[in-house]
Amino acid sequence: MIRWRSAALAASLLALGLTACATTGTGGPAKPAAAAQKKDGKPVEKAEIKPLPKGLDGQGSTGFPSTYKPFPSRPTAFVGATVLTATGQQIENGVVVVSGGKIVAVGGPDTAIPGDVVKVDATGKWLTPGVIDAHSHLGVYPSPGVSARSDGNEATDPNTAQVWAEHSVWPQDPGFNRARAGGVTTLQILPGSANLFGGRSVTLKNVPSLTTQGMKFPDAPYGLKMACGENPKRVYGGKGRSPSTAMGNVYGYRKAWIDAADYARRWDDFRAKQQKGEKADPPKRDLQMETLAGVLKGEILVQNHCYRADEEATMIDIAKEFGYKITMFHHAIESYKIAPLLAKEGICSATWASWTGFKMESFDGIDANAAILWKNGACVVIHSDDAIITQRLNQEAALAMTAGAKLGIVIPRAEAIKWITANPAKAMGIGDKTGSIEPGKAADLVIWNHDPFSVYAQAEKVFIDGALIYDRKDARFQPKSDFELGQPGQGAFN
Amino acid sequence: MIRSLLLASAACALALPAAAETVAIVNARLEPISSAAIPAGTLVIKDGKIAAVGANVPVPAGARVVDAKGGVVTPGLIAPSSNLGAAEVSGVRETRDDGTGSALSAAFDISYAINPASTFLGLARDGGVTSSAVTPVLSGNGGGAGDHADDGVVEEMTAGKSGDGDPPLFGGQAAFIRLKAGATDIVEASKLAVTVSLGESGARAAGGSRGADLVLIRSALEDARAFAARRAAYEQGATRDFGLSRLDLQALIPVVQGKTPLLIRVSRAADIRQALKLAAEQKIKVILEGVEEGWLVAAEIAKAGVPVIVDPQDDLPGSFETLGSRLDNAARLNAAGVSVAINGARDFNNLRQERLNAGLAVANGLPYPAALAAVTLVPAKIWGQADKLGSLEVGKVADVVVWNGDPLETTSWPTSVFVGGVEQPKDSRQDQLKARYVASDQSGYPPAYR
C-alpha cells in the first residue's frame, strides 16, 4: 500500500497545487490568479491590462459556484463505537469528537471529551467516514428512467468535453435519498460513456437541495469523463461515423489532445504578450477546448471508463504523449491483469465486485479484481454506476474483500473501508477535505447498526459536515423528493 | 500450478459416477428448511440422495467425511427465474437465446437453447446455486437493466437494434435446469410455464396500452380453449381465425387447462390486481414476478394463493409502475401470508446476488427462516420440484451446499457444492482467471503460460 499512498499523495498535491496557483489555466471556473498577479506585480508596461469582455475569458468565468451551506450542527462526541478511520485503523470502543462541522479528535476510550458537547452513545455500533461513490449517474439518469429525463449522454458527437454533468442533474432524483440511507455522503456525478470525451463531472454533497449549486462540493476539482472501448465505437459506428473501431477511438483522443494543446498554447501566448503590454488578439473561447486544456494544465482530473487491461495501457501511453495524468480508470474490470503497472503509475481502479460478462469487454471480470490490485499496492475504489448498488457500496466492498480471503489475501476491514471512502476521495481530488476520520477533515460520518461489511448492516444515522442528514429511526430526518409526494408509498422505501 | 491442481481435482470429481460416493458432512449446522435448524449434526449422502439428516447420525462405514468445521449446510439454492444457460454475454446478441422475435410467442421453448457449457454455471454454483428456472423474456426486454444506461447494456438490449421486430405477446415456455458440471444435458424439465408481461412491457408488446395487452391475452387464452376443443376442425380450416399460430395455441393448452402456470411479470398494484382477476376469471394457475408494489395488495395476493418472485433490492421508483417500491416488500408480503421466492440479479450474470438479496430482505424485516426458504423450498414448490429438491430431507436429491458461515452473509462462501450427490469442481472460468493472475511468476514468460 505504501507505494500507492505516496503516489496518490504526490498526485493529489500535484492536482491541488496546480489548482491553487493556476496562472495560465484556461479551464474551468479558475480562480482569477492572473488578476492577483496583475495587482501585486508591477505593470510591465504603462497601461493597465484591459480585461476581456465578460464571458470571453475562461479564467474570469464565474462558472456555477457552489451555494452549499452546511446544515445546523452541534458539537458532538460519538462514544463507544468500533471506528474504522479509513487511515488504516480500527479502534474499538472509540471516541470521535466533532465541532464546527469538522472532526476535532479521534481515538480510543481515553480520548478527552470537552464538557460542552452532545454525547452520542454508539456502543455496539460501527462508525465510518461517509461513503463516497466515485461513479454515479444520480440526477443525470434519475428515477423514473424516462426519456424526458435521460440527460446523461450528449451522444451527438464523440467529443463533448464542453458539456458539464451539473447542467443535467435533476436535484429531485429520489435516488439521492436512497443513496443517503445507504450512507453515501459524497458523489461524483459523471456524464455517460457514449463519447470518447463525455464532459465534465461534478462532485456533490448528498444533501437535499432545490438547486444543483446547493449540492456542489465547495472547491472540488472537476473531472473529465473519458470512455474507452465498446460504447463510443458502437454509438458512432452505428451512425456511420468515426469512431467505429478501437483504433478510431485512439485517433479521436489524440486528435483532441493535439487541438487542446494548441488551444492552450494560443492562450498562453496571448497572456504572455498581454503581460508584456504587446498588442495581442485573444483566441476565441472554446468550451470544449477549455475543458481539455484544463486537463493538460492539471486542473481537471481524468476519470476514464476503461474495462480492458490492454486498453488501459494504451490510455497510459496517450497520457504520456500529451503530458497529462489519468487519475482513475472506471469499470476497470481487467485492472488485476496489470496491477503492478497501475501501482507504478499511481492510477486508481474503480470496479464492482459482482458484475461480469455482460458485454465482451467485461467478460474477464472477477470478484477478486480489487484484492489482487490491493495485494500489488495499487489504489482500489469500489464504485456503483448504479442507483441500486450505490445504496450498498459497503456490501460491494465486503464481497471484494471476501474474494481476497478466498484466495488467501487477507484484507483487514480497516483497509477495505478505504475503497469506498478515502480512496474515492483522493481520486476525486477532495482527499484533503473528506473521506477519513482524522482531525481537520469534514465530519462526514455514518453510524452503522452492524459491522458495515455485513449483509445485515444498515446506516442508522448519516452526517455531513457534522449535521444529521438521515436518521433511520426518525421520520423527520428522512427527506423525500417533491416527485414522490402523492405517489404510492409517498417516497418511503424502508 | 494452481490451475493444474484445480483441473486435476475436477477431473477426479467428474470421473466418479454420480451414484458411487457415500459422503458424510459432519460438524455442521444443518438448515433443512422443511423443519427447524439442527445446531450441530451430520448429513449423509448415498446414491446421489440424502440418506440421513440429524444431530445423532452415525457416519456410514467407508463414507468420505467432509468436515464443515462448524459451518452451515443448506439445500442447494434455486434461482427462481433466470437466463442461466440461455444467455452468455448479454451485450452480444449471438449469445442470447432468452427471448425471441414475433415469429413465435407462447411456443418459444427455452429448453432447446440451454448450453450446459455456459461459463456462468460455475459462477452461479459459487453463489450456492445448484438449479434454476430459466424463463424467457419478451424480446428486447432485458428484465431490469433500465438504470444501467452508462455501461451500454441498455442500448444493446433495446428492441429494434437487434432486428427482432416487435416483441411477442407471450415470452415463451420456461425450463428448469440443474447445474451439474460436465453433464451433457442439464435440463431437468421443460414447458413448465408460459411467460407474459403486464404493465409497461406488456403494453409495448400489445401495441401501446395495458388495455390492449389484457384484451389480447384473454383472447389468446380463449382461442387456446377453442383450439383444444376443435382441433380436427382447425386442421380442416373450419374454425374462425385465431390470433396466434397453431404452435402458440398448442403451448397455451396446458395453461388454460390449469396444468402449468402463467408466469406473469407485473409491477404496479393496479396491474397486480388485473393479474389476479385474470387468473380467477380464466381459472388458470399464475406465478407473479417483479411485484414491486406487491405490498400494497399483499392481502389480495395471499387470498388468491398466488406465489411471487421478488428482488428485494428494488426500492427505486425506476418507472411509473414501480413508484411504490420498498426494501421491505418481501417482508410485508410474507407477513401477509404470501409465498415469497427471492431472485438474484437477472443481468450481469449475478446469480450470486440471490443469497445476498435474501440477507437484505432479512435486514429489512423478513424472518430468517422465510428468507432461506425463499431461495430453496419456495422456488422448488413454484416449479414443481419440491418432491426432489429444496430441503434437506431423506430421499430428496442431494443438491447440498456446505458454507463456511451464514449462507446469506457477504463474508461467507460455499466450501463444497454437491449436485445429485456429486461434489462440483471449483474450476470455473473466473476461478481459472483468478488462479492465473494471483500467482506471481518470475519465469519471464507471460501469464498465458501459467
User: pLDDT (tens digit, 9 = 90+) per residue, A338-356?
Assistant: 999 999 999 999 999 989 9
The minimum CA-CA distance between A441 and chain B, rounded to whole Å, is 30
Judged by a CB distance cut-off of 8 A, whether residue B2 touches chain A is no
User: pLDDT (tens digit, 9 = 90+) per residue, B359-389?
Assistant: 999 999 999 999 999 999 999 999 999 999 9
**∠ CA B128-B134-B136, rounded to 5°:** 145
Judged by a CB distance cut-off of 8 A, whether residue B325 touches chain A is yes
The minimum CA-CA distance between B257 and chain A, rounded to whole Å, is 36
CB within 8 A of B170, min separation 6: which ones?
B105, B106, B108, B194, B195, B196, B220, B248, B251, B252
Grid coordinates representing B27? 460438524
Judged by a CB distance cut-off of 8 A, whether residue A482 touches chain B is no
Place of cell 492572473: A34
Cα B177 to Cα B111: distance, rounded to the nearest angstrom:
9
Query: What integer is the mean pLDDT of B51-56?
Result: 97
Judged by a CB distance cut-off of 8 A, whether residue A351 touches chain B is no
The minimum CA-CA distance between B57 and chain A, rounded to whole Å, is 31
Enumerate the residues of chain A whose CB falls inside 8 A of the CB of residue B150: 137, 141, 152-153, 190, 192-193, 305, 385
User: What CA dihedral angle connects A389, A395, A399 and A404, to 10 degrees?
Assistant: 130
| Exposure on the CB side of residue B223, measured as CA atoms within 13 A | 22
In a mutagenesis test of the A interface, which of B94, B162, B437 is the best target, namely the one with the most A β-carbons within 10 Å? Answer: B437
Cα A142 to Cα A483: distance, rounded to the nearest angstrom:
11
pLDDT at A47: 55
Judged by a CB distance cut-off of 8 A, whether residue A360 touches chain B is yes
Q: Using 50, 70 and 90 to split pLDDT, how confident is the model at B442?
A: confident
Judged by a CB distance cut-off of 8 A, whether residue A412 touches chain B is no
Pick left, alpha or beta for residue A93 (phi over 0 → left; psi -120 to 50 → alpha; otherwise beta).
Answer: left
Check pLDDT > 60 for residue B145.
no
Cα B195 to Cα B287: distance, rounded to the nearest angstrom:
9
User: What CA dihedral angle connects B69, B360, A329 and A144, to 10 degrees?
Assistant: 160
CB–CB contact A487 B319 (8 Å): no
Query: What integer is the mean pLDDT of B414-420?
Result: 98
Q: Where are the domains of chain B?
A: 78-389
CB–CB contact B315 A175 (8 Å): no
Strands A197-200 and A223-227, by their bridges, are: antiparallel
Query: What integer is the mean pLDDT of B307-313?
Result: 98
Place of cell 484445480: B6
| Nearest one of B419, B442, B421, B436 to B121, comparing CA atoms | B419
Residue pair A430/A204 in contact by the 8 Å Cβ criterion: no
Residue pair B177/B188 in contact by the 8 Å Cβ criterion: yes
Q: Report the DSSP beta bridge partners of residue B52.
A: B44
Q: Using 50, 70 and 90 to split pLDDT, how confident is the model at B20?
A: low
Chains A, B: CB pairs < 8 Å: 187
Q: How many CB atoms lie within 10 A of CB A101?
A: 18
Which value does ipTM take for this structure? 0.92
pLDDT at B440: 77
C-alpha A407, offset from chain centre = 30
Helix (H) or strand (E) segment spanning residue A341: helix A339-345
For A395, the closest of B156, B161, B410 (CB atoms) is B410
Query: Which residues 159-218 in chain B show a CB within 8 A of chain A?
Result: 161
Which amino acid belongs to residue B433?
A: L
**CA distances for B50 relative to B154, B388, B391, B395, B399, angstroms:** 43, 10, 10, 5, 9
Cα A443 to Cα A434: distance, rounded to the nearest angstrom:
8
Residue pair A453/A395 in contact by the 8 Å Cβ criterion: yes
**In 3-state terms, what secondary structure has residue A375?**
helix
Enumerate the residues of chain B whose CB falls inside 8 A of the CB of residue A494: 315, 326-328, 364
Residue pair B57/B396 in contact by the 8 Å Cβ criterion: no
pLDDT at B356: 98
CATH class of B78-389: alpha beta
**In 3-state terms, what secondary structure has residue B79?**
strand
3-state helix/strand/coil string of B384-418: CCCCCCCCCCCCCECCEEEECCCCCCCCCCEEEEE
For B430, the closest of A238, A356, A398 (CB atoms) is A356
Cα A356 to Cα A366: distance, rounded to the nearest angstrom:
7
For A487, the closest of B313, B323, B350 (CB atoms) is B323
Terminal-to-terminal C-alpha distance of chain A? 38
Render each residue's pLDDT in chain A as its tens digit; 494 residues: 333 333 333 333 333 333 333 333 333 444 444 444 444 555 444 556 788 999 999 888 889 999 999 999 999 999 999 999 999 999 999 999 999 999 999 999 999 999 999 999 999 999 999 999 999 999 999 999 999 999 999 999 999 999 999 999 999 999 999 999 999 999 999 999 999 999 999 999 999 999 999 999 999 999 999 999 999 999 999 999 999 999 999 999 999 999 999 999 999 999 999 999 999 999 999 999 999 999 999 999 999 999 999 999 999 999 999 999 999 999 999 999 999 999 999 999 999 998 999 999 999 999 999 999 999 999 999 999 999 999 999 999 999 999 999 999 999 999 999 999 999 999 999 999 999 999 999 999 999 999 999 999 999 999 999 999 999 999 999 999 999 999 998 888 98
The minimum CA-CA distance between A181 and chain B, rounded to whole Å, is 11
Grid coordinates representing B141? 426486454
Cα A470 to Cα A473: distance, rounded to the nearest angstrom:
9
| Exposure on the CB side of residue A361, measured as CA atoms within 13 A | 24
Cα A417 to Cα A397: distance, rounded to the nearest angstrom:
7
CB–CB contact A385 B320 (8 Å): no
Q: What is the chain B residue with the closest CA to A489?
A: B324
For A234, the closest of B88, B148, B152 (CB atoms) is B152
pLDDT at A430: 98
Residue pair A491/A480 in contact by the 8 Å Cβ criterion: yes
Cα A360 to Cα A343: distance, rounded to the nearest angstrom:
25
Among positive and negative, which fits the CA dihedral A342, A343, A347, A348? positive
Query: Which residues 5-24 in chain A show a CB within 8 A of chain B?
Result: none
Cα A446 to Cα B123: distance, rounded to the nearest angstrom:
33
Enumerate the residues of chain A whose CB falls inside 8 A of the CB of residue B416: none
To the question of pTM greater than 0.80 for the whole model, the response is yes
Question: Angle A246-275/A287-296 helices, nearest 10 degrees?
Answer: 90
Grid coordinates representing B227? 383450439
Q: Which DSSP letter does residue B177 get?
A: E
For A387, the closest of B147, B348, B363 (CB atoms) is B147
Grid coordinates representing B374? 425463499
User: What CA dihedral angle connects B96, B97, B101 and B102, to 10 degrees?
Assistant: -160
Cα B264 to Cα B56: distance, rounded to the nearest angstrom:
45
User: pLDDT (tens digit, 9 = 90+) per residue, A48-58?
Assistant: 678 899 999 98
Judged by a CB distance cut-off of 8 A, whether residue B368 touches chain A is no
The minimum CA-CA distance between A240 and chain B, rounded to whole Å, is 15
Enumerate the residues of chain A whose CB falls inside 8 A of the CB of residue B161: 238
Judged by a CB distance cut-off of 8 A, whether residue A359 touches chain B is yes
Check pLDDT > 60 for residue B72.
yes
Query: Which residues 108-147 in chain B show a CB within 8 A of chain A?
Result: 119-120, 123, 146-147
Check pLDDT > 50 for residue B159.
no
| Nearest one of A357, A425, A369, A450 to A402, comparing CA atoms | A369
Considering chain B, what percentage of its residues have pLDDT values greater than 70?
90
Judged by a CB distance cut-off of 8 A, whether residue B151 touches chain A is yes
Terminal-to-terminal C-alpha distance of chain B? 7
Q: Report the DSSP beta bridge partners of residue A121.
A: A79
CB–CB contact A488 B323 (8 Å): yes
Judged by a CB distance cut-off of 8 A, whether residue A363 touches chain B is yes
Across chain B, mean pLDDT equals 90
Grid coordinates representing A413? 476491514
CB–CB contact A144 B323 (8 Å): yes
Judged by a CB distance cut-off of 8 A, whether residue B330 touches chain A is no
Radius of gyration for the alpha carbons in chain A, expressed in angstroms and rounded: 23
CB–CB contact B347 A358 (8 Å): yes
CB-based burial, B9-29: b 16+ in 10 Å, e otherwise: ebeebeeeeeeebbbbbbebb
Pick left, alpha or beta for residue A118 (phi over 0 → left; psi -120 to 50 → alpha; otherwise beta).
Answer: beta
Query: Which residues 120-149 in chain A show a CB within 8 A of chain B?
Result: 137, 141, 143-146
Residue pair A271/A297 in contact by the 8 Å Cβ criterion: no
For B316, the closest of A192, A230, A387 (CB atoms) is A387
Helices (H), B134-267: 153-157, 199-205, 210-229, 231-235, 246-256
| Nearest one of A50, A168, A101 to A469, comparing CA atoms | A101
Judged by a CB distance cut-off of 8 A, whether residue A313 touches chain B is no
Give B335-383 as a DSSP string: HTT--EEE--BTTTTBTTHHHHHHHHHHHTT--HHHHHHHTTHHHHHHT
Q: Which DSSP letter does residue B278 get?
A: H
CB–CB contact A141 B150 (8 Å): yes
CB–CB contact B318 A145 (8 Å): yes
CB–CB contact B317 A484 (8 Å): yes
CB–CB contact B317 A392 (8 Å): no
CB–CB contact B91 A359 (8 Å): yes
Cα A203 to Cα A212: distance, rounded to the nearest angstrom:
10
